[in-house]
Structure 1
Amino acid sequence: MTRTKAVAWAGGASYLLVVGLLVGAAPRASGTVHGVGALLAVSLLAGVVRRMPLLALAMALFGSTAVVVGPPSSAHESRAASYQGQFLSYLAADLVLGFIVATCARRASTVAVAVSFTVQLLVIGGFAHGDSLAVNGVIALLALAASCMAGLLSRERREHAVALRAQEVAEAVTAERLRIARELHDMVAHSIGIIAIQAGMGSRVIQTQPTEAREALRAIETTSRETLSGLRRTLVSLRQADRGATSSEQSPLAPSPGLADVEQLAAATAGAGVRVDVRRSGEQRPVPADIGLSAYRIVQEALTNVVRHAGTGRCRVAIEYGDEELSVEVVDDGRGASEHDSDHGFGLIGMRERVGLLGGRLSAGPRPEGGFRVAARLPLPAPVGVPVEAR
């Protein structure tokens, strides 16, 4: 930081030195040479512009004014032509002004524009005469306006980029919140539903059928542990994302559930009093983790609704591995869904969101012959061909 500051101050001192040489050591050079020289010398102020733009503007205005009001130029050049060339030096101040408009606060930019305009107007009015007064005044005004417009366009582009970035961050946060809400709803709702049913059954038979009561308590314990494990996985992931934990601080987490865990889910549902018939068809193969997790959660939510709302003792889960899509269907022969059941409706929203994020299709509703049907079709990525070695 100190070295950068020293370089900036060295550049500012060099700029003043170059301007002094143009005014004092080359008095017979043409006004155009003075103007172009001052314009090129402004590059020495790059470090000052980045650190102290207002000071850089003051130095550029001082140097440009010194070039204009300095000694007269070559004797072979008229005084009007001399001044017309020397006024080019104010383009250097205009460049610095454009940077200020693009990067500094609006109040500072307004003050800088007013000061620059006033200085240039006074100098041109005092040293330009006749036709050159109008010409140089118009040129100076156009150059100042062009630099301000370029600065404003740069500021608006940067502010627009910042706004887009903030919008992307907000959308990402919202999407993550929805994902977490879906995960917690699907996981907790299913487990709490099974626990409630097992607890109710155990309390009814604890006196007459202690063996059945013990089985209910075991199911409650197993379901509770699985739910706690899932909650821990979700919470640890959130804490690691918030703190930016390093790999050495991360604890090993259980993998997310997938299609391979559907049978275990069916067994837990059977413990709650609903027998689940799982059928698989097609060429069974590994699917991407996000598709497997979404399919599992859809089955889980559908089974939760069967346990809580269908009033039946059995249902069917069909999983079909197609060439281009994975089909999941959960069908029961119960009493169907209630339109006023808020829990069921909320679960359907979560299922639709999961399927929509993967570009799939979901249909859910009562069947004409009775019961309820949930069917999801999730597109699968195209298989990558593996070349076979010739023998």
Structure 2
Amino acid sequence: MSSEPIHSSSADRAPPSSPIWRDLGWVVAVTVLAAVLGAAFDLSEKVYRFTRGMERFQLDELPGALFVLSIALAWFAWRRYRDARRELRRRRMLEEQAERLLADNRRLASQALQAQELERRHLARELHDELGQYLNAISLDAARIRDLSGEREPEIHRIALGLMQSATHVYREIGGMIRRLRPIGLDEFGLPSALEHCVDGWRERLPEASFSMTIEGDFSGLSDALTITLYRLVQEGLTNVSKFARRARVELFMVRAPREHNGTQIDEIVVTMADDGPGTDLTKPRSGLGLIGMRERVEALGGEFHVASEPQRGFLFCARVPAQAGLAEPVN
């Protein structure tokens, strides 16, 4: 499978150039060595005797011209070196500015996602508490009217039945909206149970596909932003399966475990989903925004998102997110 690059970091920069004093030391050492060798072999006398015989061609002036040329080349190299150092400082400053802007963008994206999920939770609660209660009351009143009407008032009986059916339909639609706004069981039973319920739902909708799910580790104590991000990753991955790989074998793996990173150990969550469906060519532009949204969610929490796929060779995505992402930093 060909992998899709995600992003580069400051660690990819080229190493700084050698210090100027070390280069200057080499120049002095070579100059001293040349002077010692010239004195040992009487180089200047030999050059003088060689050029005296060619005075009519003015070659005896060649050493002086070469000396001036060497000085000019040294001055030219110094100017280029100074310009290169100035350009390097400017590029480093621009890279640092870009990193700060990227960090600000990720923080704003994370705050936007948190605000969106908070609004979704509030709306789901309002739909359930307010509209759900009124629909239940309407359904009960309609059932009472139906029972009281009996066979004596067939028109009232028919209207009551229609009212009950309408209330049941609206209640079912609101339940679907609530499930899309806020995953069932996520707040009450935790992430693993919510994912199991989600996968079970897709098993019913895609009977020709096979699903296997493995969850390892403790997923309690996570921030709400991280919990909903992990759920949305799986949800979007299963949605892609329903669009492009309805008969595929799907494997979902999620684990929370420590990992060594830059000499320090961090608590990390890894989510991987793979299928053996038709796959796709990642070098071609895609019209959908699913992968872009998945990447933005993960990177907003300081994680990494990778995709690998080739035509007729399946599809795989892997997300790595710090387990502490989204939690308030401790105050020292």
Range class of TM-score, shorter chain: 0.3 to 0.5
- Structure whose residues are more often helix by fraction: 1
> Which one has more relative contact order, counting CA pairs under 8 Å at least 6 apart?
2
Bigger-Rg structure (1/2): 1
Judging by fraction of residues, say which structure has more strand: 2
Superposition TM-score, scaled by structure 1 size = 0.34
